[in-house]
């Protein structure tokens, strides 16, 4: 029997096929639809539709606002938790971490349904606080995505750096501000991207928590259900561009941190 | 290596072929019928209790589709296999069809039927299907004259143009499955004044701010909105005028509807897709725009929880809707056998006992008018024989079941107006509206080329408008953004701005 040997190129084939079928091809289709009109001719009308209507721009800003607030709330909750979990000597901290990740195993629509009932008990008529509820729902949904990168970056931090800082006379606040916080910036950045972008489009949470405003995801869906692939694709494209810009900025940020880390210490 | 790849590709090919081998028509004898219908819209079997009518028990042990397959295979010289799939919205189905999915028989709502017919996607039912002398033709023999009769029926009154500009009608093109009205389910105990629920303006009534839900669907929301806008004109209008007013899609009406819908949006609890049933039962909302079939289901489940809910058809007008079976052209090669199978399926569903099974399972109202269906209604809602004559009355259903058909029922399940008409009631009222309600019902046609304009109106309503944002909010957002931008800049350039790089005393700066 001949031995099985694969070259590197051959090993890449499954992924390349996946990439072409499910990433590149759909992107081309989106691009095609975004810049054509109903008659299949090249046109910028979808583009100008989006950027001249105060309603669609309003949705863009609303989604952004919702996503930013959600991200900040997630960060404020997750950072101390991750810090305590990573730096403390609790014996069963893996169990504790598990408790935070556990809800992720349950389908998120079920979790939101449960949350809806809890909020109804707390607030009475929950349709009076649509923005607040959406933020709570999204935070509930995305907290683990913020927690895990933070935990990893704090966990792998070298303890001797902190000891060295204390030896050189830094008090605990200074150690945190000058050593721990800068070293955990890559964790913060990756956590923020993991929360910010999905929460701009996660309209199921809004639907289930009775927020009648459209966000980017529901806007795309609404165009598609009127068979308008062109405007829908243009909005998807706008989202893609936003994701691209955010990725560029965060990459620069974390690289810079990695480069300057030595000089800062 | 080559050998290995050859073996691998051979394996893959076999793996790919196996599923297809399963559905190949063995010797041309098995015909696959691809059916697509709404979710939870057919009896799936597994009942605990039978319906014990005098004419015999009816029970759903197996699913309707299995029963059809079994019956067909026993009585015909070729075999059939049904591939039953479901869709969530009409637009879903349409998008699937335009992406190239192939179905033989689909069951969308009236406006989608019209759209598909107008686009020339369907095939007429054969003459054999309409031959009333054949007893096996259950649909042709049993469909109610109100739905698909010779004159003045719902089907006959619909006139629409196909894409070539020719007038077509639904008769012989589609077979009605279920039908009903559009109204409001409400909890009478929580209303100040019952007459509030007699009008679509309940949706914008500030007395019930954040307590009523509306359907999250352009068509149903637009219909209710037109009911509010046109309230004055609708009073005393003829049926033709009613139909014209409620199908208005001119720009002026759309603009008015946009303003009204914005009002409604600020007043209602939410736009709801699936949560309406649960929210009524748990008491989160006190009224809910609903289709009559779902209303029956909601009232039934609320009864089990001890809450009594009612159904109201607003006095301005209501939408008579229906879902129907359409034979699609793109179901491959329409051979005689395929026509036969598809029509046999529709006829099988139209057998009175099967219509009852479906009605009992899903809560909607079948288009089939038969003595057995009437008996089932009696079994369901009929008054006790020894009831006080004061408490019962005859509910007239002759328009649907034919001359002289009236059910003896309890008065307590209906609310009578001063002139004796009924606009609100419970399950039976929702399933079969009385004649006065049916008279103010109009069928809502497809929006046609106005769809994009109406959809834009809907988007304008649902999207937060930048123009509506108050200066205070702009100020707060602007200052937060400004402060954080300054903070980031200070942090990034902190070494350049604040930290002095000159070496301390005793140290020397080393040039790299």
Tell me whether residue A4 is in a domain.
Answer: no
As given in the structure block, the two tokens for residue B112 are 């989608």
State pTM to two decimals: 0.87
Task: Collect all residues of chain A within an 8 Å Cβ-Cβ radius of residue B469.
Answer: 58
The secondary structure of B11-80, three-state, reads HHHHHHHHHHHHHCCHHHCEEEEEEEEECCCCCCCCCCCCEEECCEEECCCCCHHHHHHHHHHHHCCCEE
Question: If pLDDT is split at 50, 70 and 90, which confidence band does A153 have?
Answer: very high
* Best of B456, B459, B467, B510 to mutate (most A CBs within 10 Å, chain A): B459
Question: Tell me: the pLDDT tens digits for A14-61?
Answer: 999 999 999 999 999 999 999 998 888 888 989 998 999 999 999 999
Tell me whether residue A186 is in a domain.
Answer: yes
As given in the structure block, the two tokens for residue A246 are 């955010």
Q: What is the CATH number of the domain that holds A79?
A: 1.10.3720.10
Question: Tell me: the pLDDT tens digits for B75-125?
Answer: 998 999 999 999 999 999 999 998 889 999 999 999 999 999 999 888 899
Report CA-CA distances (Å) from A3 to A13, B1, B2, B3, B4.
19, 8, 12, 11, 9
CB B373 within 8 A of CB B432: no
Who among A5, A120, A219 is closest to B463 (CB)?
A: A219
What is the CATH architecture of B28-177+324-365? 3-Layer(aba) Sandwich (3.40)
Inter-chain contact A125–B211, Cβ cutoff 8 Å? yes
**Residue-number span of the structural domain to which A176 is assigned:** 54-215
Alpha carbon of A226: minimum distance to chain B alpha carbons (Å): 7
Q: Does B463 touch chain A (CB under 8 A)?
A: yes
Question: Tell me: the pLDDT tens digits for B367-388?
Answer: 999 999 999 999 999 988 888 8
Inter-chain contact A224–B95, Cβ cutoff 8 Å? yes
Tell me whether residue A252 is in a domain.
Answer: no
* Out of B164-173, B256-265, B423-432, least confident range: B164-173
Q: Is residue B446 predicted with pLDDT exceeding 50? A: yes
DSSP state of A140: H
Tell me whether residue A115 is in a domain.
Answer: yes
Rounded to whole angstroms, how far apart are CA atoms B137 and B347? 6
Question: What's the complex ipTM?
Answer: 0.86
Question: Tell me: the pLDDT tens digits for A227-252?
Answer: 889 999 999 999 999 988 988 888 77
| Chain position carrying tokens 């489940």 | B301
Cβ neighbours for B64, distance < 8 A, ≥ 6 positions apart: B42, B43, B44, B45, B348, B349, B354, B357, B358
CB B181 within 8 A of CB B292: yes
Task: Parse chain B into domains and list their residue ranges.
Answer: 28-177+324-365, 182-319+371-462
Same fold for the domain at B28-177+324-365 and the one at B182-319+371-462?
A: yes
Inter-chain contact A62–B1, Cβ cutoff 8 Å? no
By CA distance, what is B453's nearest residue in A? A226
Q: Does CATH place domain B182-319+371-462 in 3.40.190.10? A: yes
Residue B332: the pLDDT is 63
Rounded to whole angstroms, how far apart are CA atoms B376 and B353? 9
Mean pLDDT of A168-173: 89
Q: Beta strands of B353-447 (E only): which ranges?
A: 365-366, 392-396, 406-410, 414-416, 422-425, 441-442
Tell me whether residue A82 is in a domain.
Answer: yes
Tell me whether residue A147 is in a domain.
Answer: yes
Task: Collect all residues of chain B within an 8 Å Cβ-Cβ radius of residue A222.
Answer: 455, 458-459, 462
Inter-chain contact B270–A211, Cβ cutoff 8 Å? yes
Cβ atoms within 10 Å of B238's Cβ, excluding its own: 8
Q: Which helix (H) or strand (E) holds A94?
A: helix A93-101
């Amino acid at each position: 029997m001949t031995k099985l040997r694969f070259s590197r190129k051959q090993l890449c084939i499954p992924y390349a096929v996946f990439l072409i079928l499910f990433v590149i091809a759909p992107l081309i289709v989106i691009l095609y639809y975004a810049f054509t009109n109903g008659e299949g001719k090249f046109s910028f009308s979808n583009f100008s539709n989006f950027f001249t209507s105060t309603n669609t721009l309003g949705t863009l800003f609303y989604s952004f606002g919702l996503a930013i607030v959600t991200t900040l709330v997630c960060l404020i909750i997750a950072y101390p938790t991750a810090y305590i979990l990573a730096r403390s000597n609790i014996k069963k901290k893996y169990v504790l971490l598990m408790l935070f990740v556990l809800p992720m195993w349950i389908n998120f629509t079920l979790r939101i349904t449960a949350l809806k009932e809890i909020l109804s008990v707390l607030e009475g008529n929950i349709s009076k606080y649509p923005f607040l509820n959406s933020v709570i729902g999204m935070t509930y949904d995305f907290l683990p995505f913020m927690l895990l990168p933070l935990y990893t970056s704090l966990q792998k931090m070298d303890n001797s750096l902190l000891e060295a800082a204390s030896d050189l006379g830094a008090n605990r606040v200074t150690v945190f501000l000058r050593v721990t916080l800068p070293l955990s910036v890559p964790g913060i950045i990756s956590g923020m991207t993991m929360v910010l972008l999905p929460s701009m489009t996660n309209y199921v949470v809004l639907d289930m928590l009775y927020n009648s405003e459209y966000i980017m995801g529901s806007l795309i869906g609404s165009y598609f259900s009127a068979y308008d692939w062109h405007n829908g694709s243009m909005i998807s494209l706008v989202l893609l561009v936003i994701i691209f810009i955010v990725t560029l900025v965060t990459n620069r940020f974390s690289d810079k941190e990695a480069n300057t880390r030595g000089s800062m210490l | 290596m080559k050998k290995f790849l050859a073996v691998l590709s051979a394996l893959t090919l076999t793996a790919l072929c196996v599923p297809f081998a399963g559905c190949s028509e063995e010797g041309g004898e098995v015909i696959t019928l691809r059916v697509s219908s709404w979710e939870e819209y057919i009896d799936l079997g597994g009942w605990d209790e039978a319906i014990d009518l005098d004419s015999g028990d009816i029970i759903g042990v197996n699913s309707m589709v299995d029963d059809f397959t079994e019956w067909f295979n026993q009585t015909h010289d070729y075999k059939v296999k049904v591939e039953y799939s479901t869709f969530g919205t009409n637009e879903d189905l349409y998008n699937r069809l335009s992406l190239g999915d192939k179905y033989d028989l689909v069951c969308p709502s009236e406006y989608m039927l019209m759209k598909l017919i107008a686009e020339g996607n369907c095939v007429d039912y054969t003459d054999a299907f309409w031959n009333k002398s054949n007893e096996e033709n259950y649909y042709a023999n049993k469909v109610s004259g109100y739905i698909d009769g010779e004159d003045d029926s719902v089907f006959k009154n619909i006139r629409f143009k196909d894409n070539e500009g020719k007038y077509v009608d639904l008769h012989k093109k589609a077979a009605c499955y279920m039908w009903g009205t559009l109204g409001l389910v409400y909890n009478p105990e929580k209303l100040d004044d019952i007459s509030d629920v007699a009008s679509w303006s309940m949706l914008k009534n500030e007395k019930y701010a954040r307590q009523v839900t509306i359907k999250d669907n352009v068509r149903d929301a637009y219909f209710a909105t037109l009911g509010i806008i046109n309230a004055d004109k609708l009073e005393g209008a003829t049926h033709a005028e009613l139909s014209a007013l409620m199908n208005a899609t001119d720009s002026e009406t759309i603009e008015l509807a946009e303003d009204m819908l914005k009002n409604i949006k600020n007043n209602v609890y939410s736009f709801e897709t699936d949560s309406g049933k649960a929210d009524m039962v748990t008491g989160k909302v006190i009224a809910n725009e609903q289709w009559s079939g779902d209303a029956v289901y909601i009232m039934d489940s609320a009864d089990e929880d001890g809450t009594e809910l009612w159904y109201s058809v607003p006095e301005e007008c209501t939408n008579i809707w229906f879902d129907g079976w359409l034979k699609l052209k793109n179901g491959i090669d329409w051979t005689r056998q395929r026509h036969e199978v598809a029509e046999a399926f529709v006829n099988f569903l139209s057998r009175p006992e099967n219509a009852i099974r479906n009605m009992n399972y899903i809560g909607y109202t079948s288009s089939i008018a038969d003595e057995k269906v009437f008996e089932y209604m009696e079994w369901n809602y009929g008054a006790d024989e020894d009831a006080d004559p004061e408490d019962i009355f005859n509910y007239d259903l002759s328009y649907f079941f034919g001359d002289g058909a009236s059910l003896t029922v309890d008065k307590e399940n209906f609310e009578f107006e001063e002139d004796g008409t009924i606009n609100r009631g419970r399950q039976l009222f929702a399933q079969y509206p009385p004649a006065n309600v049916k008279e103010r019902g109009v069928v809502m046609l497809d929006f046609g080329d106005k769809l994009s304009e109406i959809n834009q109106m809907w988007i304008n309503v649902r999207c937060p408008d930048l123009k509506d944002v108050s200066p205070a909010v702009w100020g707060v957002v602007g200052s937060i953004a400004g402060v954080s931008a300054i903070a980031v800049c200070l942090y990034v350039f902190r070494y350049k701005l604040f930290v002095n790089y000159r070496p301390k005393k005793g140290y020397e700066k080393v040039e790299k």
